[in-house]
Structure 1
Amino acid sequence: MKTTQGMFSEAFIDRVAKEHGVDQQHLLSKDEIERQTVKMAQQAIARKRIKVFAAMSVWPGGNIPLHFQFSSWQVDKQDNHELAKSLGKQAYQLAIRMEKTSLNVIMSGDKGTGKTSLALAIMDYLSDKGQSGMFVSTAELASLIGQQYELSDVKARLTDIERAMTEVDVLILDDFGTEGGMKQDIKPVRRDMQTLMYRVANARVDFEMNTPRRSTIITTNNSVSELKTMYNDKLISRLVPKPTSQQLAFLNMKDVRGI
Structure 2
Amino acid sequence: MSDLGQVRFDPKQIAALAAKHGIDMNNLPTKEERDRQAFEKGWANYQAKIRRWFDVMSVWPSDQRMKFTFQDWNVDLQDGDSAKVIGNQAYKLCKKLENEPGNVFMLGSRGVGKTSLALAMLDKLGTTKTTMFVSTAELASMIGQQYDYSDVAKQIKKIEKAMKEVDVLLLDDFGTEGGMKGDKFSPVRKDMQEMMYRVANSRFDLNTNSIVRTTIITTNNLQSELEQMYNEKLISRLIPKNKEQRLAFNKMKDVRGV
Query: By how many angstroms is 1:77 displaced?
Result: 0.6
Q: Distance between the aligned counterparts of 2:225 and 2:35, measured in 1?
A: 55
Report SS of the residue matched to 1:178.
coil
Cα-to-partner distance string for 1:47-104 (whole Å, 9 max, x where unaligned): 11111111111111x2111111111000001113x22112111212222222232221
Query: By how many angstroms is 1:215 displaced?
Result: 1.2
**Hey, what does 2:64 align to over in structure 1?**
64
**Hey, what does 2:73 align to over in structure 1?**
73
Question: Alignment partner for residue 156 of structure 1, among 154, 157, 167?
Answer: 154
**Hey, what does 2:238 align to over in structure 1?**
239
TM (norm. structure 2) is 0.90
Query: By how many angstroms is 1:174 displaced?
Result: 0.5
**Hey, what does 2:43 align to over in structure 1?**
42
Query: By how many angstroms is 1:12 displaced?
Result: 4.2
Q: Could you tell me which amino acid in structure 1 is paired with residue 127 of structure 2?
A: D
Q: Distance between the aligned counterparts of 2:197 and 2:77, measured in 1?
A: 37
Query: By how many angstroms is 1:182 displaced?
Result: 5.3
1:164-175 aligned at under 5 Å gives the runs 164-175=162-173
Report SS of the residue matched to 1:179.
coil
Q: Distance between the aligned counterparts of 2:122 and 2:211, measured in 1?
A: 16
Query: By how many angstroms is 1:178 displaced?
Result: 1.2
Moved more, 12-21 or 225-234: 12-21
1:156-195 aligned at under 5 Å gives the runs 156-181=154-179, 184-195=183-194
Q: Distance between the aligned counterparts of 1:28 and 1:99, measured in 2?
A: 34
Report SS of the residue matched to 2:171.
strand
**Hey, what does 1:196 align to over in structure 2?**
195
Report SS of the residue matched to 2:252.
coil
**Hey, what does 1:29 align to over in structure 2?**
30
Query: By how many angstroms is 1:5 displaced?
Result: 6.7
Report SS of the residue matched to 2:64.
coil
Query: By how many angstroms is 1:173 displaced?
Result: 0.5
Query: By how many angstroms is 1:10 displaced?
Result: 4.6
Using a 3 Å threshold, how does the CA distance of structure 1 residues 31 and 245 change in structure 2: closer, same or farther? farther
Using a 3 Å threshold, how does the CA distance of structure 1 residues 7 and 122 change in structure 2: closer, same or farther? farther
Report SS of the residue matched to 1:128.
coil
Q: Distance between the aligned counterparts of 1:108 and 1:186, measured in 2?
A: 17
Using a 3 Å threshold, how does the CA distance of structure 1 residues 210 and 35 change in structure 2: closer, same or farther? farther
Structure 1: gaps of 5 or more residues: none
Report SS of the residue matched to 1:134.
strand
Cα-to-partner distance string for 1:101-122 (whole Å, 9 max, x where unaligned): 2221111111111110111111
Query: By how many angstroms is 1:200 displaced?
Result: 0.5
Aligned length: 254
Structure 2: gaps of 5 or more residues: none
Query: By how many angstroms is 1:6 displaced?
Result: 4.9
Using a 3 Å threshold, how does the CA distance of structure 1 residues 182 and 34 change in structure 2: closer, same or farther? farther
Q: Distance between the aligned counterparts of 1:236 and 1:194, measured in 2?
A: 11
Using a 3 Å threshold, how does the CA distance of structure 1 residues 109 and 38 change in structure 2: closer, same or farther? same
Report SS of the residue matched to 1:202.
helix
Question: Are 1:88 and 2:97 an aligned pair?
Answer: no
Moved more, 187-196 or 202-211: 202-211
**Hey, what does 1:18 align to over in structure 2?**
19
Question: Are 1:213 and 2:212 an aligned pair?
Answer: yes
1:104-143 aligned at under 5 Å gives the runs 104-129=103-128, 131-143=129-141
